[in-house]
Amino acid sequence: MAKGIGFLHVRAFVEERFSASGWEQLGQRLSEDDRTALRSLTATGWYSLALYARLLHAVQDTFGWDEHEIIRQQARYQAERDLKVIFRVFFRLANPSYVVSKATEFWNRLQSAGTWTIEREGASKVRGTLDGWGVDRLLCVELVAYMERLIELVGGKNVVGEHPACRAQGQPSCVYTLRWRE
């Protein structure tokens, strides 16, 4: 399950970039049940991660011009909104190391599934293993871009995120790495 605020950020991104008619165009790629569910979302509600994945696929299919670039842009937009709205107190004095140390707490506020194991590999590099979360490539693409932007927003420079192992490609867990300069 995923918090409704993420869905609402996707909608705000689409409407800001492509207007309200862009949101309507995207909706045509979704089933009637999905459109109905999206109309009744609240920011604090919990909704199906599979619905969220279908929404990302609709964004990619409707507006994608380069492999996953629109999803990366949407993820960066969402990280900016989350930092301003949801986590403004949590990250007010944050730096990349603090964000990494609080990753599990941060995750559990927006996702109901998935367990992180975080390994520090120096002052500005981290490796995270995510078990038991969704199995969809676009979810992973979005997550990498989201994490990169979050680290940038709290002072990380030259942030590089990678996803060397993915459940959507048959691996037992998703593995992510982030490195940056402070």
DSSP H helical ranges for 119-172: 137-153
Q: pLDDT tens across 38-56, in order?
A: 999 999 999 999 999 999 9
Cβ–Cβ contacts within 10 Å for residue 94, how many? 18
Q: Where are the domains positioned within the chain?
A: 2-75, 93-181
CATH fold of the domain at 93-181:
H-NOX domain (3.90.1520)
> Exposed, middle or buried, 77 (CB in 10 Å: 0-12/13-18/19+)?
buried
18 neighbors 63 (Cβ within 8 angstroms): yes
130 neighbors 136 (Cβ within 8 angstroms): no
Task: Tell if the pTM clears 0.85, that is, is over it.
Answer: yes
pLDDT given for residue 165 in this prediction: 98
pLDDT given for residue 93 in this prediction: 60
pLDDT given for residue 102 in this prediction: 78
Can you say whether residue 165 is alpha, beta or left, with left for phi > 0 and alpha for psi between -120 and 50 degrees?
beta
Please list the ranges in the chain whose pLDDT falls under 50.
none
